[in-house]
């Protein structure tokens, strides 16, 4: 009996040794990274605009579908045409609990102001969509077509009583489009900057400006309420979704080629850990595939354009060059 017990103890010891060896050779994988505290979601633009709306929608969808173990807290830092937000995130080096939503001021702000920042100071995470631009007027005006409106713009181009074009920020997307329109048609407008796209459309409704080139999502509620009227879309093709598809392109309406699409993307701070980047990319893909986000894209006439990794970085690099060229042609770069 003693001999049998001794053999049993030996076998048990051997078995435990084998198990320990297996654990040492094949350790359990570490749990994947995920946020352990609330995520600061920086918006380098004012409230009510396209970037603000998308960021807050993403936060809401994440909470509704429990896609993040921690909440995303939206914070607007719009000072200096978004420079406040970009510089803030630039200083958050390596912080996995800060992200920023970007529009094309990612390019225009450092180019126009010489802000000590460019997109390479951040970590690309995901492109969520591309946003279009539309020429809008107040619905109570007599202008039924873009030609009607631009005829009056041309008549008043020579004096001090020029028509006013409202837009988000100075030397940003809206002003780039305004300058392109001026050059293509030989007209002059007085450009009036505001802090965000929501404020821009409100001022059009209030007749403080004569026109805007708001993104669709920024004016859609006022359009449905019949307060504003869309005249033309700055894209190669009409928007395919109803009721947007009734709006002609600028080429159809005015006979000139002016196309512009704006980034709606997410970045992290410089040197964001790779596992955090991967978590956010996967998280944002889940957001992108929800019914709520797909409806938002359709209702707001945004182009679905999800991209991550090298594809996203390449697109950003190419569009930085495009913006530098457009701003140089428009005289919007510092001399």
User: Is 294 found in the same domain as 184?
Assistant: no
Residue 300 CA, distance from chain mean position: 13
Which of 197, 226, 254 delimits the end of a domain? 254
Share of the chain above pLDDT 90, in %: 83
Q: Are 207 and 166 in contact (CB under 8 A)?
A: no
Q: Are 99 and 284 in contact (CB under 8 A)?
A: no
User: Is 318 found in the same domain as 295?
Assistant: yes
Single out the residue of 247, 51, 38, 235 nearest to residue 144, CA to CA.
247
pLDDT at position 11 over 80: no
Dig out the tokens for 102 from the structure: 């970007």
The number of residues making up the chain comes to 335
Question: Is residue 199 assigned to a domain?
Answer: yes
Say which CATH number the domain at 203 has. 3.40.190.10
Q: Please give the pLDDT value at position 259.
A: 93
3-state secondary structure 96-112: CCEEEEECCHHHHHHHH
Whether this prediction's pTM lies above 0.85 is answered by no
pLDDT, one tens digit per residue, over 126-170 is 999 999 999 999 999 999 999 999 999 999 999 889 999 999 989
Higher pLDDT, 66 or 21: 66
User: Is 307 found in the same domain as 318?
Assistant: yes
Question: Is residue 303 assigned to a domain?
Answer: yes
Q: Mean pLDDT lowest for which of 22-31, 42-51, 243-252?
A: 22-31
Question: Is residue 143 assigned to a domain?
Answer: yes
Residue with tokens 């940003």: 172
Q: Are 115 and 80 in contact (CB under 8 A)?
A: yes
Q: Are 97 and 39 in contact (CB under 8 A)?
A: yes
Which of 233, 254, 275 delimits the end of a domain? 254
pLDDT at position 86 over 70: yes
Higher pLDDT, 224 or 5: 224
| Mean pLDDT of the 96-121 span | 94
Give the Cα separation of 167 and 173 in Å (integer): 8
Sheet holding 228-233, edge to edge: 190-194, 164-168, 211-212, 134-138, 228-233
Q: Please give the pLDDT value at position 159.
A: 82
Single out the residue of 208, 189, 164, 221 nearest to residue 49, CA to CA.
221
Question: Is residue 48 assigned to a domain?
Answer: yes
Question: Is residue 284 assigned to a domain?
Answer: yes
For the CA atoms of 264, 268, 274, 277, what is the dihedral angle to 10 degrees? Answer: -40
| Mean pLDDT of the 277-290 span | 98
Give the Cα separation of 213 and 167 in Å (integer): 7
Say which CATH number the domain at 309 has. 3.40.190.150
Number of domains present in the structure of the chain: 2
pLDDT at position 23 over 70: no
Question: Is residue 9 assigned to a domain?
Answer: no
User: Is 88 found in the same domain as 231?
Assistant: no
User: Is 223 found in the same domain as 152?
Assistant: yes
User: Is 152 found in the same domain as 201?
Assistant: yes
Give the Cα separation of 7 and 142 in Å (integer): 101
User: Is 152 found in the same domain as 240?
Assistant: yes
Which of 219, 236, 254 delimits the end of a domain? 254
User: Is 180 found in the same domain as 95?
Assistant: no
Q: Please give the pLDDT value at position 187.
A: 97
Question: Is residue 126 assigned to a domain?
Answer: yes
Going by pLDDT thresholds of 50, 70 and 90, the confidence category of residue 6 is low
Question: Is residue 27 assigned to a domain?
Answer: no
Host domain of residue 95: 39-131+261-329
User: Is 241 found in the same domain as 144?
Assistant: yes
User: Is 127 found in the same domain as 138?
Assistant: no
User: Is 154 found in the same domain as 166?
Assistant: yes
User: Is 320 found in the same domain as 230?
Assistant: no
Q: How far is CA 140 from CA 88, 194, 205, in A?
A: 42, 22, 9
Single out the residue of 261, 323, 274, 263 nearest to residue 123, CA to CA.
274
- Helix (H), strand (E) at residue 95: none
Give the Cα separation of 14 and 200 in Å (integer): 76
Full DSSP string of 59-82: HHHHHHTT--SS-EEEEE--TTTT
pLDDT, one tens digit per residue, over 174-216 is 999 999 999 999 999 999 999 888 899 999 999 999 999 999 9
């Amino acid at each position: 009996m003693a001999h049998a017990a001794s053999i049993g103890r030996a076998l048990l010891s051997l078995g435990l040794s084998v198990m320990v060896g297996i654990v040492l050779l094949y350790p359990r994988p570490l749990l994947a990274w995920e946020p352990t505290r609330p995520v600061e979601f920086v918006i380098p633009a004012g409230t009510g605009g396209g970037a603000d709306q998308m960021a807050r929608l993403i936060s809401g969808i994440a909470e509704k579908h429990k896609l993040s173990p921690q909440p995303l807290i939206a914070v607007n830092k719009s000072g200096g045409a978004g420079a406040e937000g970009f510089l803030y995130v630039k200083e958050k080096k390596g912080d996995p609990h800060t992200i920023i939503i970007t529009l094309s001021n990612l390019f225009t702000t450092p180019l126009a102001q010489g802000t000590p920042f460019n997109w390479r100071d951040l970590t690309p995470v995901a492109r969520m969509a591309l946003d279009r631009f539309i020429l809008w007027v107040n619905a109570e005006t007599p202008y039924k077509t873009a030609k009607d409106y631009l005829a009056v713009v041309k008549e008043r181009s020579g004096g001090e009583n020029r028509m006013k074009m409202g837009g988000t920020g100075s030397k940003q997307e809206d002003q780039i489009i305004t300058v392109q329109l001026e050059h293509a048609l030989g007209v002059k407008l007085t450009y009036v900057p505001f802090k965000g796209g929501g404020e821009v459309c409100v001022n059009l409704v209030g007749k403080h400006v004569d026109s805007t080139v708001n993104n669709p999502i920024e004016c859609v509620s006022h359009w449905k309420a019949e307060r504003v009227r869309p005249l033309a879309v700055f894209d190669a093709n009409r928007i395919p979704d109803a009721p947007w598809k009734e709006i002609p392109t600028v080429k159809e309406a005015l006979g000139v080629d002016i196309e512009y699409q704006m980034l709606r993307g997410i970045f992290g701070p410089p040197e964001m850990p790779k596992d955090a980047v991967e978590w956010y990319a996967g998280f944002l893909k889940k957001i992108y595939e929800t019914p709520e986000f797909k409806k938002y894209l359709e209702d707001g006439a945004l182009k679905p354009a999800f991209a991550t990794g090298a594809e996203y970085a390449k697109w950003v690099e190419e569009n930085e060059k495009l913006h530098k060229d457009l701003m140089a042609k428009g005289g919007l770069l510092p001399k």
